[in-house]
Amino acid sequence: MICVAVTYVIKPGHEDEAIGLFARLTEETRAEPGCRMYLAHRSTSDPRRFFLYEQYEDQAALDAHRATPHFEQYAKGGLFPIIESRSPELYEPLE
């Protein structure tokens, strides 16, 4: 299994747009065969800060996710242009 944890800071005024894009990505990604978990969060202290936690069966499933039309549309074409900063990290379970 591989886990992805990403912290996003969205440009001012684009928070509602980001919520809609995360909702679309969540729905589509959870239907992918290699996806174990996909959960977007919003900070309780900073409405521009979002946290995304993802789990995939393996690197191939993550690569397949990144090659989907919905990733292209909602992440690359939607979220990425409205991001002020993005901090992704990959993790593997200890066991």
Give residue-wise pLDDT tens across range 5-45. Answer: 999 999 999 999 999 999 999 999 999 999 999 999 999 99
Between the CA of residue 71 and those of 21, 24, 44, 89, 92, what are the distances in Å? 10, 10, 26, 18, 22
In the numeric block, which tokens belong to residue 5? 């944890």
Give residue-wise pLDDT tens across range 39-84. Answer: 999 999 999 999 999 999 999 999 999 999 999 999 999 999 999 9
Q: Kindly indicate the confidence band of residue 95, based on its pLDDT and cuts at 50, 70 and 90.
A: confident
